[in-house]
């Protein structure tokens, strides 16, 4: 006989903490369906109903018919389906955990890099107090270099001589 389900094995509170805010309605609908299913299962009896075979033997006139039904009914066994996917789920869980750990280490490396960048930006003068020379010293790759690379106002790349738009398809003539 199959194991009787008495309560959900899911920790709904822990799961709810991990659900993003925009997916809360779907989570609530899913939990409601799972709870309704569990209630329906719990309403069913643990075992099939017991039949009063003596009552049927007294009422059915065909000799041996009730005895044959009783024998067939007692021999009836509905097997519980075999678990064939737990191994697959365990292997997928291990792979996913490895992916999560890899993502965490990569994220921590990015966080450290961003912290360095923030520390560098915090060490600079505020932009409203910077001169052009201070900006050139802090961001040499972005600053205007009027001696080595003169540009025309408004100093945007598309306003300069010889600018070629890389998003346009080359002309065929």
Per-residue b or e along 96-128, where b marks 16 or more CB atoms closer than 10 Å to that residue's CB: eeeeeeeeeeeeeeeeeeeeeeeeeeeeeeeee
141 cis-preceded (ω within 30 degrees of 0) = no
Q: What is the pLDDT of residues 99-150, one digit of tens each?
A: 999 999 999 999 999 999 999 989 999 989 989 888 888 888 888 777 777 8
pLDDT of residue 5: 63
The two tokens of residue 96 are 């996913």
Q: How far is CA 6 from CA 34, 46, 158, in A?
A: 13, 11, 70
Has this prediction a pTM greater than 0.75? no
Q: What is the pLDDT of residues 29-63, one digit of tens each?
A: 999 999 998 888 888 887 777 888 899 889 888 88
pLDDT (mean) for 11-21: 92
At CA 124, angle to CA 119 and CA 126, rounded to 5?
120
More confident residue, 94 or 165: 94
- Going by pLDDT thresholds of 50, 70 and 90, the confidence category of residue 1 is very low
Q: Are 45 and 4 in contact (CB under 8 A)?
A: no
């Amino acid at each position: 006989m199959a194991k009787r389900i008495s309560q959900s094995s899911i920790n709904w509170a822990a799961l709810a903490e991990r659900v993003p805010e925009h997916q809360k309605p779907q989570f609530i609908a899913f939990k409601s369906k799972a709870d309704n299913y569990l209630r329906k299962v719990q309403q069913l009896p643990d075992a099939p109903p017991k039949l009063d075979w003596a009552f049927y033997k007294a009422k059915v006139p065909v000799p041996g018919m009730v005895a044959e039904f009783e024998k067939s009914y007692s021999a009836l066994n509905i097997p519980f389906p075999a678990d064939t996917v737990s191994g697959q789920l365990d292997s997928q869980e291990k792979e996913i955990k490895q992916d999560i750990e890899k993502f965490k280490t990569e994220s921590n490396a990015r966080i450290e890099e961003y912290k360095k960048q923030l520390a560098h930006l915090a060490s600079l003068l505020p932009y409203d107090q910077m001169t052009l020379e201070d900006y050139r010293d802090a961001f040499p790759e972005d600053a205007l270099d009027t001696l080595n690379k003169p540009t025309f106002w408004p100093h945007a790349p598309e306003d300069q001589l010889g600018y070629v738009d890389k998003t346009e398809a080359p002309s065929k003539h």
